[in-house]
């Protein structure tokens, strides 16, 4: 079976970084995607959709160092659905999960938009490759 989602969009707000009880970090943020078309009257219409994203593992370091509000990203991950109850009403969630070797996060935009990578960040990327099981 395959559970994969790919989007390109812009980060809405600066990512929130949390630490679990076991000391692992999680980055949470939302990404906006938009589509445009002309309606029957020839007027341009735009629809923006917001996507929740949670990042685990080594990619959290990339998010902490380079992702901020407005950053354009290419994301490949897994879709996860959930539900919770609030005030007696069932609410449903959909979150894009980036975790493990089958996830991808690529910074897009012009070269001027991208910060230069430090040696420490370069080493962190090298260590990510060590996590790949093949």
Instruction: Let me know if domain 5-130 sits in CATH 2.60.40.2140.
Output: no
φ and ψ at residue 67, rounded to 5 degrees: -100, 130
DSSP secondary structure letters along 62-77: HHHHH--TT-EEEEEE
- Note down pLDDT in tens along the chain; length 134 residues: 889 999 999 999 999 999 999 999 999 999 999 999 999 999 999 999 999 999 999 999 999 999 999 999 999 999 999 999 999 999 999 999 999 888 999 999 765 555 544 444 444 445 544 444 43
Helix, strand, or coil here: 109?
coil
Domain borders along the chain are 5-130
């Amino acid at each position: 079976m395959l559970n994969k989602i790919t989007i390109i969009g812009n980060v809405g707000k600066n990512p929130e970084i949390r630490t679990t009880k076991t000391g692992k970090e999680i980055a949470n943020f939302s990404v906006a995607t938009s589509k445009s078309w002309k309606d029957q009257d020839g007027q341009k219409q735009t629809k923006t959709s917001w996507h929740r994203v949670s990042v685990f593992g080594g990619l959290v370091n990339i998010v902490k160092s380079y992702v901020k509000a407005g950053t354009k990203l290419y994301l490949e991950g897994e879709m996860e659905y959930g539900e919770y109850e609030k005030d007696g009403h069932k609410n449903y969630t959909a979150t894009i999960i980036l975790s493990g070797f089958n996830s991808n996060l690529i910074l897009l935009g012009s070269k001027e938009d991208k910060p230069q990578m430090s040696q420490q960040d370069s080493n962190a990327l090298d260590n990510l490759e060590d996590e790949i099981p093949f």
